Amino acid sequence: MLYSLFEYLDQLDIPGAGLFNYISFRSAMAAITSLLISTFFGKKIILMLQTAQIGETVRDLGLEGQLNKNGTPTMGGLIILLSTIVPLLLFGDLQNVYLKLMLFITVWLGMIGFLDDYIKVFKKNKSGLRGKFKVFAQIIAGLVVGLTLHFSDDIVVREKVLNEKGVPVTEIINGEESSGPVINYITQDLKSTKVNVPFFKNNEFDYAMLLWFLGEKAAQYAWIVVTLAVIFIITFVSNGANLTDGLDGLAAGTSAIMGTTLGVLAYVSSNTIISDYLNIMYLPNTEELVIYISAFIGAMIGFLWYNSYPAQVFMGDTGSLAIGGIVAVYAILIRKELLIPILCGIFVVESLSVVIQVSWFKYTRLISGRGRRVFRMAPLHHHYQKLKYPEPKIVTRFWIVGIMLAIFTVITLKIR
């Protein structure tokens, strides 16, 4: 809204209006606005939730301090959603297809999480929304993102294409000659199913390679593989965030760390000079994603004001399902989804701990008649609670691991 207004004012040569042309300025304003909304309006939302008696009912699992959390307001994810969406509407270019996709994912998965919390709180059904409906909603989200990636003309990758005749030509960018040196290629904005691969010199992987058996038709059907991959990634990361949300500040803090890292990756991918220096794909129009992630980071940090130990509010599925989907889709849009196992290592390990625990229990029960466990309790953070680690210590150490993974994710841009 403000972006469109100031763009119009800039055309009228109004002093200062040109500030909104700078991504750095709009990103900073989005982050500040998000922080202000989450901290100032967060308290009002918490009071509203308390008045409506929307509190968490905690089962006694033998965890220290667990029962003290009974009655703590849930659905605090509304603070995160509001603090992310409002700055985006104010400072983002709403014509940008990347922002439209991020808005869709934020609202869609936020609504699904809200419905899950609503069933738990008001219908007194501890199971909430049935798992198959959650997965179905995540599949819908994946289909929308995957199909948009394929069919939208605005989602392209700028690639260097060799001159067909093999004759040196002046560099042409989108049909216009540059004043640069004579070279043997032209750069064009093309549809692509390629992603960046860490650790390798030739650091691009094409999903079409998975359809090698189709020969020349592989590129034609690669979008189907991309869509299936998007569905899997969204489902896995979204559920991973949901499982991680079990201790005060754990999911919010780790998500803020991941968001900051994704913001760095989006910035370098949207900058022609830096992307060329780092030898990664340049993605036109993705600079607006930096504004989105700035608002997201501000929302997560502001939410921690109330969610840090001892928590005054829980995000609930309203927040956890949404933030997992946001992290997943953001990584996909900047072609860095192969970095998710590193960057989202906390989510991955939390999910795997549940899979390992359940699988081993069923296997040993089938073999010996008595189920055995690998961890004292899953997800992993509860295992450390069972070992009598204080909750703040567990959360802080998970944050530290998250920061280490984030740093390693960034330096993969140079490790090849």
C-alpha pair distances (Å), 40 with each of 33, 47, 50, 177, 310:
10, 12, 17, 52, 19
CA gap 252, 297 in Å, rounded:
9
Q: Are 304 and 252 in contact (CB under 8 A)?
A: yes
* Full strand arrangement of the beta sheet holding 169-173: 157-162, 185-190, 169-173, 176-183
Roughly what angle, to the nearest 10 degrees, separates helices 345-368 and 391-411? Answer: 120
Structure tokens that stand for 35 in this block: 């922080």
Per-residue pLDDT reduced to its tens digit, 90-137: 999 999 999 999 999 999 999 999 999 999 888 878 788 888 999 999
Q: Dihedral sign for Cα 344, 345, 351, 355, please.
A: positive
75 phi and psi angles, rounded to 5 deg = 65, 20
Residue 68's pLDDT band, with cuts at 50, 70 and 90, is low
Separation CA 392–CA 394 (nearest Å)? 6
Give pLDDT tens digits for 166-211: 444 444 444 555 555 545 567 788 899 999 888 877 778 899 999 9
Per-residue pLDDT of 255-281, as tens digits, reads 999 999 999 999 999 999 998 888 888
The DSSP call for residue 173 is E
Amino acid identity of residue 279, one-letter, is N
Give the model's pLDDT for residue 170: 46
Which pLDDT tens digit goes with each residue over 369-409? 888 999 999 999 999 999 999 999 999 999 999 999 999 99
305 band by pLDDT with thresholds 50, 70 and 90: very high
Cα 368 from chain centre: 42
pLDDT on residue 20 = 72
pLDDT at 3: 64
Mean pLDDT (the chain, rounded) = 88
pLDDT at 167: 47
Question: If you search the block for the tokens 């650790």, which residue do you land on?
Answer: 199
Burial string for 97-123 (b: 16+ CB within 10 Å, else e) reads: bbbbbbbbbbebbbebbbbbbbbbbee
Return the exposure string of 178-195: e unless at least 16 CB atoms fall within 10 Å of the residue's CB, then b.
eeeeebeebbebeebbbb
Looking at residue 185, its pLDDT comes to: 64
Distance CA 25, CA 41 (A): 23
